[in-house]
Amino acid sequence: MRIIGATVLEYRRTLDGRSWNPTMRWSERRAPLLMLRADDGTTGIGEAWSRQAEIDRVLAHLARVAPRLVGMNVDAVAFAPASDPKWVAPAAASAVDIALWDLRSRAAQLPAWKWLATEPARDGSVAVYASGGLYRDATTSADLARELAGYVEDGFEAVKMKIGALPLPDDLDRVRAVRAAIGPGTTLWVDAVEQLSAATAPSWCAALSEFGVAAIQAPVPASDIDTMALVNRTLPVIAAEGEHTHARFAALLDANAVTYLQFCLGLCGGAAGGSRLDALAHDRGIASTPQCFSTAIMQAASLHFGAARSNVGVVEFHRFHDHLADLMPPTMRTVVDGRVRLGEAPGLGLDPLSLGLQADGGEIVVHGAFR
């Protein structure tokens, strides 16, 4: 099977700017996409992680890479483990790997999870948690509590919310309201977006534990491994979504700095890179958890990856960054008892050719079509 076409696309959507986290306000969402077409008529699609202010760098890199893919045998394209300290090339390579994963599994008439799985007992289901709970202008802790309680009503058994933008007492008021609304049986994770420090982390973690918070994502920058390890001894740590080199992930594992190894398939090398990281975590007795805050393409890839790998504890299912959600079939958007069942549709289960018809208020911009 040979690649006969490669198209670099961008998903772009204007948001209302009222929702924010400790580091940025969401007034726009952009995502770099890559579509590959094979000579048998099969189409695959992938997505790259990107810093929003620097997305043009990823799109430009994909536009340089895409023409070189045309004419290649699908099985001759391979992902090399990322060693580049800069993130743009690994992000672009990750989009290529996801698109190839989709393409190859479609050609084999297998769902992507089954094509990737090495264990025949996998059943095509995956545990998920609802990710949301951003700060939002002109809302209260009660509004936030209703939001997360709504996810529980939708079938989720675990939820995650943002903290770290307000003083501890104010953020604890938000956590308290959410815990009361979701009940004691729902798992509650928080994401501090790297806002704590060695000085503040102990008091924050002690207070969060009183409300049954089960884990904290990104309490400090991933480079601060010593503090991360300190936090992990008192409250389980989830990290590090913005990393891509295997050496950095290995350092976190060696220092016992994480309880859940978190990586983004759109940055760490797609299914190939994610599989290596998941195996690395497994060897250390640590569960992995794919991060996802983008379009349905990355969401579908994350779900299929989680369904394929037994060491994946749970997959992020974003309820704010759920762009292009209608690309996913209803089964992939349905959560029952905290799990999603992916079914037997080939590839990632999406229809790439309907991409422009499902822009949900956004637009699809072509940055280069190569044949």
Summarize pLDDT for 61-83 with one digit per residue, the tens.
999 999 999 999 998 887 665 55
Burial 154-168 (b: 16+ CB within 10 A, else e): eebbbbbbbbbbeee
Instruction: Express each pLDDT in 82-130 by its tens digit.
Output: 556 689 999 999 999 999 999 999 999 999 999 999 888 789 999 999 9
The confidence score (pLDDT) of residue 121 equals: 74
| Tokens read off for 326 | 């209608």
Locate CATH 3.20.20.120 in the chain: 115-341
Burial classification of residue 174, based on how many CB atoms lie within 10 Å of its CB (0-12 exposed, 13-18 middle, 19 or more buried): buried
- pTM here is 0.96
* pLDDT surpasses 80 at 360: no
CATH superfamily assigned to domain 115-341: Enolase-like C-terminal domain (3.20.20.120)
Burial 290-299 (b: 16+ CB within 10 A, else e): bbbbbbbbbb
Phi, psi of 74 (to 5 degrees): -55, -40
Q: Nearest-CA neighbor of 258 among 291, 293, 222?
A: 222
Given pLDDT bands bounded at 50, 70 and 90, which one contains residue 351?
A: confident
* Cis peptide preceding 240, ω within 30 of 0: yes
Locate CATH 3.30.390.10 in the chain: 3-109+351-370
Q: What is the mean pLDDT of residues 332-348?
A: 97
3-109+351-370: CATH topology is Enolase-like; domain 1 (3.30.390)
Taking the C-alpha atoms of residue 106 and residue 27, their distance in angstroms, rounded to an integer, is 35
Taking the C-alpha atoms of residue 344 and residue 138, their distance in angstroms, rounded to an integer, is 43
The answer to whether 45 and 350 are in contact (CB under 8 A) is yes
